[in-house]
Amino acid sequence: MKQDLKKRYAAQAAVIKAMAHPTRLLILHSLKKKETCVCELRDLVGDDISTVSKHLLVLRRAGLVAARREGNWLHYRLTCPCVLDFAACVGGLKGKCV
């Protein structure tokens, strides 16, 4: 495998991996509608808030979300809504393809 190719696929895989969790997909879809603070996301997801925070860290590191502070709250937002078009494509994969 050529080195530059290897690097490019590693970079792509890192982003895809960040999306590869049900909770994180839920968060991404929720953020598509509007900026949301962590506690609101915790209510939506239902996990411990520290767990939600870790998922947000994963998404932040991948460059998929960013945060904006407003008083005590951190408002998270999607940086690149286009990534969710993909999830829809993937949605009903089985059965549809050859």
HEC per residue, 23-43: HHHHHHHHHHHCCEEHHHHHH
For residues 34 and 21, give the distance between their C-alpha atoms in angstroms, rounded to a whole number. Answer: 20
Binding mask 21-40 vs a second copy (x if CB under 8 A, - otherwise)?
xxxxxx--x-----------
Closer residue to a second copy in complex, CB, 72/93: 93
Q: Check residue 67 for interaction with a second copy (CB under 8 A).
A: no
- Binder of residue 32, out of a second copy, DNA, none (CB less than 5 to 8 A by kind): none
For residues 71 and 89, give the distance between their C-alpha atoms in angstroms, rounded to a whole number. Answer: 38
- Positions in the binding site for DNA (CB under 7 A): 17, 20-21, 23, 37-39, 47-58, 67, 69, 71-74
